[in-house]
Amino acid sequence: MTLRLGILYDRAKWEEKALKREAERRGVEVRMLNVLNTVMDVSDGSGFTEDVYVQRSLSFFKGLYSTAVLEHHGKRVINSYKTSVTCGNKLLTTLALMESEVPTPRTLVAFSEESALRAVEELGYPAILKPIHGSWGRLVAFLKDPSSAKAVIESRMFLHPIHRVFYIQEYVERPPRDIRSFVVGDRVVAAIYRIAPEREWRTNVMRGGSIEVCPITEELRELSLKAAEAVGGGVLGVDIMEGNDGLTVHEVNHVPGFAHTVMATKVNIPGLIVEYAVESAKR
């Protein structure tokens, strides 16, 4: 019997089309499901008859809740709700990494303007303020000194209340790059350096960062797998910094973009994801 795969998405980028192509190449029947055009019957879950789903929505909340509905009706979704809810929240990620004793930067959390300023003072300057939800480096701020900290924290008071959960992290001295490693199940399949562009400290490719192939050392492999397992496992992009005290994990991404990595490393990441999904469906 032909295995059937559903790809949930909201914007069809290179990644989603590559997943479709690689699935078809392997004789898997694929249905592209744009969550924006889909009505989900929460009560009976009808209309979702595929054996396994790959969740690729760019929108964190749309992806999370469409996954929740499918899982409730017994469908296997990659990644799982548990993995997605943890990775989509930096605070929950930090807690999960610590629970599994994965090295991660020291983090404080505060819930008011005054407490946030106290937290920064306690960590020392510079420090990093991140929204607990969010990606691509959006609103991630480098707090250089007390006046910049005050200005940035004050500005957050005028945003959605979620931005008044102040997630403040120590600044880790590192080269102007970090490592993104790609975990598919129990394998580290590729790794790249993300290099910060000029006049920018953030390394996000979406902020103009460039990439280079990173060798997968035993240390990197072990740490990546441990971090992936800590957040619930699946198909993950683990972000790692090369600090003075060794490698440290600051984030794990549950819908990792991989177009640039495939070009640079020549590793067929979409093919490996499809194979992992097929294996998961059989279990």
Partner 1 sequence: MGKAVECPECLAQFEVPDDVVVGEVVECPDCGVELEVYEIGDEGVKVRVAVVEEEDWGE
Which residue do the tokens 């549950």 mark? Answer: 254
Please pick, from the candidates 6, 209, 234, 256, the single residue that binds partner 1 as defined by CB under 8 A. 256
Closest contact distance (angstroms) between CB of 236 and partner 1 is 10
Q: Does 60 bind partner 1 (CB under 8 A)?
A: yes
Q: Does 43 bind partner 1 (CB under 8 A)?
A: no
Q: What is the largest CA-CA distance in the chain?
A: 64
Stretch that binds partner 1, among 57-65, 114-122, 182-190, 222-230 (CB under 8 A): 57-65
Stretch that binds partner 1, among 120-128, 140-148, 219-227, 255-263 (CB under 8 A): 255-263
CA atoms within 13 A on the CB side of 225: 12
**Which among 212, 205, 258, 204 has a CA at the least distance from the CA of 235?**
258
Strand partners, 194: 178, 211
CA-CA distance, 154 to 216, in Å (whole number)?
A: 42
Residues 224-253 binding partner 1 (CB under 8 A) are 237, 253
Closest contact distance (angstroms) between CB of 218 and partner 1 is 26
What number of other Cβ atoms are within 10 A of residue 108's Cβ?
17
Residues 65-124 binding partner 1 (CB under 8 A) are none
Contact, 7 vs 53, CB < 8 A? yes
Q: Classify residue 37 by burial, with Cβ atoms within 10 Å: 0-12, 13-18, 19+.
A: exposed
Q: Does 136 bind partner 1 (CB under 8 A)?
A: yes
Q: Is 112 helix (H, G, I), strand (E, B) or coil?
A: coil
The residue count for binding partner 1 (CB under 8 A) is 28
Closest contact distance (angstroms) between CB of 60 and partner 1 is 4
Q: Does 135 bind partner 1 (CB under 8 A)?
A: yes
Q: Does 11 bind partner 1 (CB under 8 A)?
A: yes
Residues 159-218 binding partner 1 (CB under 8 A) are 160
Give Cβ neighbours of residue 220 (< 8 Å, ≥ 6 apart): 179, 181, 188, 191, 214, 240, 247
Using CB under 8 A as the criterion, which residues of the chain lie in contact with partner 1 when the complex forms? 9-13, 16-17, 32, 34, 36-37, 58-62, 133-136, 138, 160, 237, 253-257
